Amino acid sequence: MGKSFEISCKRIIRCLDTEIKRMEKQLAKQVEDQAEWSEKQTLLKSAPGVGDVNNSRKLSHPIN
Sequence ranges of the domains in the chain? 2-60
Residue 15: pLDDT band with limits 50, 70, 90: very high
pLDDT at 64 over 60: no
As a whole number of angstroms, the distance between CA 64 and CA 48 comes to 21
User: Is it the case that residue 13 has pLDDT exceeding 90?
Assistant: yes
Please give the angle made by the CA atoms of 28, 32 and 36, to the nearest 5 degrees.
Answer: 120
Predicted confidence band at 41 (pLDDT cuts at 50, 70, 90)? confident
Q: Is the pLDDT of residue 40 over 70?
A: yes
Looking at the chain, how many residues does it have?
Answer: 64
Three-class secondary structure of residue 3 per DSSP? helix
Predicted local confidence at residue 44, as pLDDT: 81
Residue 54 confidence class, pLDDT cut points 50, 70, 90: low
Q: How many Å apart are CA 47 and CA 54, to the nearest integer?
A: 11
- Give the CA distances from residue 13 to residues 1, 24, 43, in Å, rounded to whole numbers and listed in that order: 17, 16, 33
